Structure 1
Amino acid sequence: MSTFVASILVDAAAKVGAPIVKGLLEKYLGGAVGEVGGMIVDTIAGHAGVTADELPSLPADKIEAAVAVTEAQAPDLLIQWNVQQRQAHDLMRAEMDKGGATWTWAWRPAWMWGLLVAWAWYVFVVPMLNLFVALMGASARLVLLVDIGTLLAVTGIFTAFYMGGHTIKDGLSKWLGRAL
């Protein structure tokens, strides 16, 4: 979202006397449009009958009319956004509070942190320790226990299980014509 479009919409909201829309646009439109700001801009564009990118080409009176209609809907839009956020939060909490064993969900963050430590060890810690040891005058070096190919393979396998498992399962279900 360009700052030009944002300034047009903020000016139109000020002219029409739409303090809620003006406040939301000023707060949530920045370098990147946030969820609320994007929702407000999309609603204004929808009432104007154009896409958000086409808003600058509209006459000011049409933009102001769309902002005025959006101002009347702003409380409902905020309630919808709040409900959406609450549902997302409840879904995340339900994932962790299933009542099953901890390992059923804890393997994912454990692997993520473990891979982070492994990559940090491989890329940063061992080279820095070797540099420090060399600067101290020792001829010994720390040896990496795992080569880069193995670390890449383990990372790839975890990524495939974690990120691609459902995709593969859905693809096989469609290909076989039955649920797996």
Structure 2
Amino acid sequence: MFSSLAPVLVSLGAPILGSILRTHIGGVAGEASARVIEALAHALGSEPTPEAVKKAIEADADAAAKVQSIERERSAEWVAYLTMATSQRNQMLDREDERGAVFSWGWRPAMSWMLLFLWSWNGVILPVTNATAGTSIVPIPWEHLLGFAGLWLAIYGGGHTIKSVLGK
């Protein structure tokens, strides 16, 4: 919604305002986007929503001058917001890069989902399938499933407990 208004602002000669709306991701960038929309809505006499501002720009023949005036009058504020929003986005991207390969972090949730599926299979899916289809598929022995779940809880839960006790 914000990003659809960004190219309109750039085409009207307000590249900083357009860039702020392109970086809308919440936090500082979200606040900056909201301030841009409020300023535009006030100047154009519309509701402070991206859709209403876009309609007001399309309906106002003098919209380009008003938008450029807003960018020029508060340029220091807009540049500061854009700098903070860009920094916030870059930090988020850096955190994603630090996660590493999918296997380095994805094995724990994958194992948890697999365990959830196996318990669901044994307790719900297989009995319903056997009853409705008239099959006699043998379930996983409950003691094996319980042993596997216990082993997983020891590895996953115990590892976190050891990490919290040792402070690592």
Range into which the TM-score falls when normalised by the shorter chain: 0.3 to 0.5
Higher-RCO chain (CA-CA 8 Å, sequence separation at least 6): 2
Q: TM-score, normalised by structure 2?
A: 0.44
TM-score with structure 1 setting the length:
0.42
